[in-house]
Amino acid sequence: MNLKSFKPLALVVRAPAAIVLIAILAACSGGANKPKPAELPLVAALVAAKQSWSARIGEVNFPLDVHVSGNSVLVASGDGAVAALDAVSGRDLWRTSVGGPIAAGVGSDGKLASVVTKANEVVTLQDGRELWRHKLNALAYTAPFVAGGRVFVLAADRSVNAFDGQTGRKLWTQQRPSEPLVLRQSGVMLAVGDTLVVGLAGRLTGLNPSNGSIRWEAPIASPRGINDVERLVDLVSHVSRVGDTVCARAFQSSVGCVNAARGSLLWTKPANGMQGVHGDDRLVFGTEADGTVLAWRRSDGERAWTTDRLRYRNLTAPLLVGRSVAIGDASGFVHLLSREDGSLLNRLTTDGSPVMAAPALAGNTLVAVTRNGGIYGFRPE
């Protein structure tokens, strides 16, 4: 199977059979000692962008992955709604319900769309019509990865499951040793050539998509510390891929890049963040737990610039858009920073509730989704 043709906060879960939730208070903790978010200065619109449309879906209370396929934007809400929108107009292409609360989604190849429910069911749709559903043995918080007529699911017990996209027949399962804790946060799955690349604990792992056998493993972070929380180093979405190079973040530990053709680690640098990264062939961008935004040189991981203008604003993972880096925050703003030095270029407003997923780019439309279910399309000019 050749994957080259494919179209392309934090709660912790105790991984063994019982699966009990505990909270990491970190940046989203309350109380009198919570750091005050940085004041937002007036900003001149050095990069012009205007809202071109808005739409709505239900409250988003799970780790949403806004999926883009061509000019279609796929989103979901916690109450079970799944919708495909036209990125130019924001109108519904289709909208349906999977009949129960959603825990992870949306994954799509442009034809099939998959989510995972809180009842541990993988549900796969085609044009808004349910094709099949399959019960998992564990919770899942990572959007299914759909490619090559197959649906791949990363579960909280660190199993990777492959299903036939049309029938739901299970094709294989790869089970790795389970760490005591895993994040209630979206992890890493993507295709590089004919390899399925998955984040398992602090490692990027290359799997044969035909049978699940392991081709290589590359450690971006190793567990350290004296308790289970301190040793938590799961890889988090999103990643920055350029050719065979994949750069990813290990939760509150490090950022690193791997050659996914050879399975070799290129570099890793300490970094204390909870959200994924994005970038180009020159720079990798990320947000730290305290709201500092950084750029690392892709070639060697050395810092190119850093800015604290958005400290303590509970930032999303970044998205590179032209000359800007787009980042959402807990007040519903989407900030556009210069990719060259991190200076503020513009600030876009939504409904005032937190932006719940990394901004997405569909054609020429920048899409942001908020916790209250607002979906906003902005057109940079």
By DSSP bridging, strand 49-56 and strand 11-14 are unpaired
- CB contact at 8 A, 150 and 198: no
Residue 322 has pLDDT above 80, yes or no: yes
Of 363, 331, 313, give the one whose Cα is nearest residue 27.
313
Distance CA 40, CA 70 (A): 34
For residues 227 and 39, the model is more confident at: 39
> pLDDT, tens digit, for every residue of 16-58?
433 333 333 333 444 557 899 999 988 888 899 999 999 999 9
Percent of the chain surpassing pLDDT 70: 90
* Tokens describing residue 168: 């739901």
Local structure of residue 220 (DSSP, 8 states): S
Distance CA 32, CA 29 (A): 10
Q: What is the pLDDT of residue 297?
A: 98
* Tokens describing residue 318: 């970044």
> pLDDT, tens digit, for every residue of 267-321?
999 999 999 999 999 999 999 999 999 999 999 999 999 999 999 999 999 999 9
For residues 223 and 254, the model is more confident at: 254
Instruction: Give the rounded distance of the alpha carbon of 158 from its chain centre.
Output: 17
- CB contact at 8 A, 353 and 371: yes
Q: Where are the domains of the chain?
A: 3-25+64-309
Q: What is the pLDDT of residue 178?
A: 64
State whether CATH 2.130.10.10 applies to domain 3-25+64-309. yes
Of 369, 378, 310, give the one whose Cα is nearest residue 61.
369
What average pLDDT is seen over the chain? 90
For residues 341 and 1, the model is more confident at: 341
Find the helix or strand (DSSP H, E) in which 379 lies: strand 374-380
Our CA dihedral for 317, 9, 117, 115, rounded to 10 degrees, sits at: 0
Distance CA 211, CA 223 (A): 28
When pLDDT is averaged across residues 60-76 and rounded to a whole number, the result is 95
242, with CB counted inside 10 A (0-12, 13-18, 19+), is middle
Our CA dihedral for 102, 120, 278, 288, rounded to 10 degrees, sits at: 90
Can you give the C-alpha Rg of the chain in angstroms? Answer: 19
Distance CA 157, CA 146 (A): 20
Find the helix or strand (DSSP H, E) in which 349 lies: strand 344-349
Residue 59 has pLDDT above 80, yes or no: yes
When pLDDT is averaged across residues 243-261 and rounded to a whole number, the result is 96
Query: 3-24 b/e with 16+ CB inside 10 Å = b?
Result: beebeebbebbbbeeeeeeeeb
